[in-house]
Structure formats: structure tokens, C-alpha cells
Structure 1
Amino acid sequence: MNVENRQSGDGTVGKALAVLDAVAAAGRPVRFAALLEDSPYPKATLYRLLQTLVSQGMLDLDPDRGTYSPGLRLVRMAHSAWAQSSLAPIARPHLDALSADVGETVHLAQLDGGAVLYVDKRNAARPVQMYSEAGKVGPAYCTGVGKAMLAFLPEPELEAALARQSWHRFTGTTITDPDAMRVELATIRTEGVARDRQEHEPGIACIAAPVLGPGGRVQGAVSITGPTDRIPAAALEAHIPRLRRAADDITRDLRDWRFPDEREERHDWRHA
């Protein structure tokens, strides 16, 4: 269970969220014994946290199989977060148009700490199996969307994000040195486009552009991805103008978007 030191300073809430993370990360219903094996918590503590999460509807317990999975309350919250907090609803029409124009896989991603969270995806006209799916978390240092976002972070945030990378060598082209990555990110800042040269998955390459909010703050990234045996590097590069236009369109809509007027939407949660 990767709790990223949350249990050290966030008390019971942090521990409960770490357990939710562990169940979600399993990708399938998971038994207590499997959770306990990787848990930093004693058996009794883990059991108590699971029971509380089940009673609150955040987890579902299958009594016949003895497995835990995300509960409907958590699913409802996830849908609400997706609609209100992610770029996905704003970007949807632009992803649709980009996908239709280029015919290749299109991704939308945001940074989650030092990792990449894929928030939306459009499959290619001729789909190919790859790691990325909406809702999955991937590394930032060896993906196009990740590098596109890292390149435009303020220096303190960039250093914090780089410190979180594993620098694992996935392929022969993976950049595993932080200093080499800083050189790469400087090039990306100059060109406005990041490239994944089969750095995360063999045979998969991509180009990516950042989505920047007010003040140039990183809000996400959009990419075009495809198999190298079907899309030569020159053909992928030819999509850069269209990719940039999609990122600019999302940026424009993001800057124009406003929360509902609080005077119209005011609601006292204490009396709900």
C-alpha cells in the first residue's frame, strides 16, 4: 500500500484515504489478506478502517467472497469530481474533434502529485493495446503528457515533482537521470511540445502539448499517441499544429469558464 506518508500526519482520515487508495489500486475486488500484506497498519486497525468505510458506503463488501471494492457513494463522488474539477467536461468537444481529424489515440491528463492521471481518452480508428486508460495513473517522467506538464511547472513545484519520480527504466529510451530530464524539459518549454519516444512502452510514441490556465499555470496536457510500426515519426510530427490548436482551444475555454454565481447557487450545507 503506497500511502506516501499520509498516515504520519493526517490521522484517521489520512489512514482511511490510504485504504481507499489501496482498494482502488487493486483494480479488482480485493480480499482482506491481500490488503493486510501490503498495509503499514496493524490487522485490527486495518479491519476497523475497512468496516468504517463499508458502513459509510465508500467501500462495498461482498460477504460471500470476502472482497472489498469501491462503493456506490465513492462512485457518485468520483463522477461529481470528474464533472466539477477535471478538465474532461471542458475538453470533451476538442478531444472529439482532434480524434476525428487525426484518427489516432488522444489522451487528456492532469498531474496528481508527481504522477499523471489520465482523465479522458479517445481511441484510434484502428485501436492498439496500451497502458493508458481514463482513471489510470502513470509516471510523469517518461510519458508525453507528463513531460508536457512538468516542463511548465514553477521551479519549486518542478523540483518536488522530480523528487517523486521513480526513474525506473521501462525501455532503452527512458530518461532515468534528473539532470538529463531538466535538459529535456528546457527544450519542451522552448518548443511547446513534448515527445514520448517509446520511453514508457516499446513501440508506442506520442506528442503532447500543455493546457495552461490563467497566469500560465499548468492545468493538464493533451496528446496524440500511436504505434511506431504504423505511424512513422515524421507522420506523428505532422500532427503538431493540430495538437497545439486543440490545446489552445481547451485553454481558451478553461479561461472563459466560471463557477456559477454564488448568489444564485448559495446553499447552506448545515441545513441540507
Structure 2
Amino acid sequence: MAADQGDGTVGKALDVLDMVAAVGRPVRFTDLLARSEYPKATLYRLIQTLTHQGMLAYDPDRQTYALGVRLVRLAHAAWATSSLAPLARPYLDELSAETGETIHLAQMDNGQVLYVDKRNAAKPVEMFAQAGKVGPAYCTGVGKAMLAYLSEDELERAIQRQSFHRFTDHTLDTPEKLKAELQAIRARGHAYDREEHEPGIICCAVPILSRTGRVIGALSVTSTTSRTTLADLDSGAARIKQTAAQIAAEAESWRFPEQA
């Protein structure tokens, strides 16, 4: 998606970085041009600037571009200062040891879910969610747990960013269905994933809230329908909420970016 006019050159450069990242492998200029809404000269100028600044790396032998090592340094700094992951680590370890199930820690990124940490189950199961991945908010437990506690304005902006693609027969595929679900989540204080994103994957998720009620993240215990039931996961909701409260208490002395 092209940057808004008000974002100027910086917004356009970030668009290019997003494009390169989305490919998931080193990519040629011609491939980026086919994906881009920018004119050839504009795209080339942006890529050259990003390369000179170390944000992109160019391989002259293969004539491809990839994300640069400078981004690794910036990402590490962001993880250490803006992510819940470092301070949440001991609490995730404890919850993982107690449940034997997969634990996900997430934050919201422009209306989507950014997984910032994960603990695998005692018997690991292959699934989409991995630390560093971005997933949909409307059909994941952690996503709905965060959406449910956004302010009205924040929620409307976040809903506009959802694709409402129907991943499974259980996916909530309209804003109306999602809003009804969010109301139920606020009533009980936790969310479920009822095989809404991936067949066979279920979870119980809770929001991580500041003392003022601001959403700073979410936590889930995730399993499979072949191993357990949603009712079994629900029975552990109080323990997940306790862990979320512990993480929130740790976070009070940190400064986090406003979530949107």
C-alpha cells in the first residue's frame, strides 16, 4: 500500500522496506517494480537511498536486494525497549511449565497482531504463530483480546484494517460478527480462538492492560482439538489472567508506544 501524501519520502521508504520484507527472500528490482505503485524512477531512488543507509543490502552477483543488517540492530533495540518480551520471559516460562501447552505473547501493530515471544508445547505443534510474525487480529485469540479493550476510535481504525478473509468455517468474517464477539469478550474478560485462523488450533487469550486500562499486549495458551478442548483451556483462564497481571505490573515502570 502506498504511503499517504502526508508521510512524504519517509513513508514511501518504509513502504519499500515492507515490500522487500513481504517477499521473504532476496528480490530483484524488476520484481519490486511489479509490486510497487511508485514510478520506476521514484522506486529506484528510494532503493538506492535505503541501500546507502544500510537498510537494504544489494548482492551484485545475483542483482537482488534484501533487508540490511542495520535493521537487525534497530530491531534488537526495539525488542529490548518497546517489546513486552524481555520482562515477560520468566512469567512465560512459568506458565509454559505449568500447562505444557504453547504460550504466545503478542502486541498490536497497526491493527494487526505482532507475535513478540512464544514458548512451544511439551509436544510441539506446527502452527502459523511465531515470534516476529504478523497475523490477523479479527480471527486470533490474542488479536480479539486486544481489540476488545481498545477505545471506540481505536477499535474503528483497527476494524478498517482487517481483511475479514474466511480462513475456516469458524472465521468471523464481518465487522458485525466481530463486534458481537468483542462484547462477549469484555463480559467474561478473555477471548477464544475457535479454530478461526487455522483448523484444529484453539486457544484461550487474555489482554495485558495498564493500570489505566490501555492495551499493551495479550497472552494466550494454545493447543489443538486433538489434544484438548476449549472447555479445558477455559478452566485455566484465571491462571492466564494472573500471568497477564504480573506482566502488566512489570510493564508499569516501562514506557511503551501507544497501541493503535
Partner of 1:95: 92
TM-superposed CA distance for 1:7, in Å, is 4.3
Q: 1:107 aligns with which of 100, 104, 107?
A: 104
Partner of 1:64: 61
In 1: Cα distance, 2:120 partner to 2:215 partner: 25
Is contact 1:7–1:18 with CA below 8 Å preserved after alignment? no
Counting aligned pairs with the same residue, the percent is 61
Deviations 1:10-33 (A, max 9, x none): 111111111011111222222212
The answer to whether residue 140 in structure 2 is matched with residue 129 in structure 1 is: no
Partner of 2:188: 191
Deviations 1:53-104 (A, max 9, x none): 1111111111111121111111100100110011111211111111111111
TM-superposed CA distance for 1:8, in Å, is 2.3
Is contact 1:211–1:222 with CA below 8 Å preserved after alignment? yes
Once the two structures are superposed, the pairs formed by residues 122-271 of structure 1 within 5 Å of their partners are: 122-255=119-252, 257-258=253-254
In 2: Cα distance, 1:70 partner to 1:157 partner: 31
SS in 2 for 1:229: coil
TM-superposed CA distance for 1:239, in Å, is 2.1
TM-superposed CA distance for 1:114, in Å, is 1.3
Tell me how many residue pairs correspond in the alignment.
255
In 1: Cα distance, 2:71 partner to 2:239 partner: 37
TM-superposed CA distance for 1:232, in Å, is 2.0
Q: 1:41 aligns with which of 38, 45, 60?
A: 38
In 1: Cα distance, 2:254 partner to 2:247 partner: 14
The two structures have a TM-score, normalised by structure 1, of 0.91
TM-superposed CA distance for 1:233, in Å, is 2.2
Q: Which runs of no fewer than 5 residues in structure 1 stay unpaired?
A: 260-272
Once the two structures are superposed, the pairs formed by residues 68-87 of structure 1 within 5 Å of their partners are: 68-87=65-84
Is contact 1:197–1:206 with CA below 8 Å preserved after alignment? yes
Residues 44, 111 of structure 1: CA spacing in aligned structure 2 closer, same or farther, 3 A cutoff? Answer: same
Of residues 86-95 and 143-152 in structure 1, the stretch that sits farther from structure 2 once superposed is 86-95
The two structures have a TM-score, normalised by structure 2, of 0.95
Of residues 140-149 and 34-43 in structure 1, the stretch that sits farther from structure 2 once superposed is 34-43
Partner of 2:16: 19
TM-superposed CA distance for 1:172, in Å, is 0.2
Is contact 2:200–2:225 with CA below 8 Å preserved after alignment? yes
In 1: Cα distance, 2:68 partner to 2:100 partner: 36
Once the two structures are superposed, the pairs formed by residues 2-17 of structure 1 within 5 Å of their partners are: 2-3=1-2, 6-17=3-14
In 1: Cα distance, 2:80 partner to 2:235 partner: 33
TM-superposed CA distance for 1:115, in Å, is 0.7
Deviations 1:190-215 (A, max 9, x none): 11110000000111111100000131
In 2: Cα distance, 1:192 partner to 1:234 partner: 15
Which residue type is aligned with residue 202 of structure 2? A
In 2: Cα distance, 1:220 partner to 1:134 partner: 14
Is contact 1:111–1:220 with CA below 8 Å preserved after alignment? yes
Partner of 1:264: none
Q: Which runs of no fewer than 5 residues in structure 2 stay unpaired?
A: 256-260
TM-superposed CA distance for 1:226, in Å, is 1.2
In 2: Cα distance, 1:258 partner to 1:210 partner: 17
Deviations 1:107-159 (A, max 9, x none): 11111111111111111111111111111111100000000000000111111
Which residue type is aligned with residue 135 of structure 2? G
In 1: Cα distance, 2:16 partner to 2:202 partner: 34
Is contact 2:203–2:230 with CA below 8 Å preserved after alignment? no
